[in-house]
Structure 1
């Protein structure tokens, strides 16, 4: 699975384009007096509301001593579609609630399947909502679906399940100024897996709070993969299309 994800990523590695970003959020007066219920309410209230989002995303992929960067066009139709397009449309990735699809014009191959592809790559079970939440700075697991407790950690809120499962530990760190997730960490000690997602910067776009810089660190045993994403030239609620059609004659990728 990781081999296939490398193929998807490195297909995009052709050029890098820079664009002007929106207003970066800065910390002002902190509020560290909220109880857990109030905190989750504030976090929920800060969720971005839009119909569509488009952005140029500068991505840096690092594994060991190897590092590559690329510019990708990202489009999202909230709760329906996530679309990524590489330079010169040489490769496209389409994510919907039902499946993950990808094609690569450089070697005439394609993939259509479930979320196991992405889940194996990041070391945790994913679905459409979790991928969308990851990109938008929302908790991967809905904070209203379970019983959570909070405490103060390094001038921020640390949120975790009241009863951590022995095989799966989950932590969130929430900013005390604008109440967005600044880090979420999933640990599976038995499998030697750790997934850490850090939101290094947020930006305000049309009164909505959108991530500006994300760092994803996926560790499995002795293997470590780092993906850094920078969202530039973000726009909301424009009319977008999501063209995706696997060209005829392409061969399916074999998963190993």
Structure 2
């Protein structure tokens, strides 16, 4: 079951974005120590994705236990509605909607259909479609207008953190001074010995959209560590897309008990 959980985590973090004919954004912005948390949140929200559809090929490098594997996948997205991913030769396919998480695996002849409970347990935070999408687009996992934040800086980024951090979950967001998108979001759960860090190493500007170009994800739980790097090879925005998804007959359903 641990292998299954890991495969779902990989599925989540592999759904990222980029754009065709993109211009990489130089990190030339300067830190203004006078910016308040409210101002930073306002500037960040201006950069939220506005595209209708996206499709891309994404190169993924996955490292666990010092073993590295590489994949190339096709990604399609209709913002706020559907995220679809297809592995090479159709060996695996997955689809996320606001109501359901589904995938099938032709190598092991198995499939899964369910809600977000398992994914929420894996990351230790309550997930829904909006939160997953935001994470993949370089946007905050949490709505920054829901509570009060305090602002600080380091040498390269603005730092936002909730005014009242908790022992259950600590959150840190680093914002880029060039465009106010997220440089890194870090979630620490000390009691569960979990740590998730998503670094947006570079961004690109395409059709006035600022979207991630290179992403590095590190997930740690106790003594287990997974590192995933993503590079976006070709992407187009606002074209017609389809989301074919049909579970092959004869596949065995993956049933998860309450303990997972």
Q: Same fold (TM over 0.5)?
A: yes
What do residues 59-108 of structure 1 show as CA deviations (whole Å, max 9, x unaligned)?
11111211111001111100010000001111101011111100112232
What do residues 146-200 of structure 1 show as CA deviations (whole Å, max 9, x unaligned)?
1111011223101000111122100000001110000000101011111111000
Q: Where in structure 2 are the equivalents of 1:25-104 lying within 5 Å?
A: 25-32=25-32, 33-104=34-105
Give the secondary structure class of the aligned counterpart of 1:228.
Answer: strand
2:20–2:206: 8 Å Cα contact kept in structure 1? Answer: no
Give the secondary structure class of the aligned counterpart of 1:227.
Answer: strand
Task: Give the TM-score normalised by the residue count of structure 1.
Answer: 0.91
Cα distance in 2 for partners of 1:9, 1:20 equals 27
Which residue is equivalent to 1:173?
A: 174
1:64–1:224: 8 Å Cα contact kept in structure 2? Answer: yes
Sort the Cα spacing of 1:155 and 1:105 in 2 relative to 1 into closer, same or farther, 3 A.
closer
2:20–2:236: 8 Å Cα contact kept in structure 1? Answer: no
Give the secondary structure class of the aligned counterpart of 2:120.
Answer: helix
1:189 aligns with 2:190: yes
Structure 2, unmatched stretches of 5+, are 12-18
2:31–2:158: 8 Å Cα contact kept in structure 1? Answer: no
The Cα of 1:5 is off from its aligned counterpart by 4.1
Give the secondary structure class of the aligned counterpart of 2:89.
Answer: helix
Cα distance in 1 for partners of 2:21, 2:212 equals 11
Which residue is equivalent to 1:156?
A: 157
Which is worse superposed, 124-133 or 46-55? 124-133
Cα distance in 2 for partners of 1:139, 1:5 equals 23
Give the secondary structure class of the aligned counterpart of 1:131.
Answer: helix
Cα distance in 1 for partners of 2:154, 2:21 equals 30
CA RMSD of aligned residues (A): 2.1
The Cα of 1:6 is off from its aligned counterpart by 4.3
Which residue is equivalent to 1:133?
A: 134
Task: Give the TM-score normalised by the residue count of structure 2.
Answer: 0.89
2:8–2:119: 8 Å Cα contact kept in structure 1? Answer: no
Cα distance in 2 for partners of 1:10, 1:173 equals 23
Structure 1, unmatched stretches of 5+, are 12-18
Give the secondary structure class of the aligned counterpart of 2:201.
Answer: strand
Q: Where in structure 2 are the equivalents of 1:104-253 lying within 5 Å?
A: 104-253=105-254
Cα distance in 2 for partners of 1:167, 1:228 equals 28
Which is worse superposed, 37-46 or 101-110? 101-110
The Cα of 1:254 is off from its aligned counterpart by 3.9
Cα distance in 2 for partners of 1:112, 1:140 equals 23
Sort the Cα spacing of 1:2 and 1:203 in 2 relative to 1 into closer, same or farther, 3 A.
farther
Give the secondary structure class of the aligned counterpart of 1:125.
Answer: coil
The Cα of 1:202 is off from its aligned counterpart by 0.7
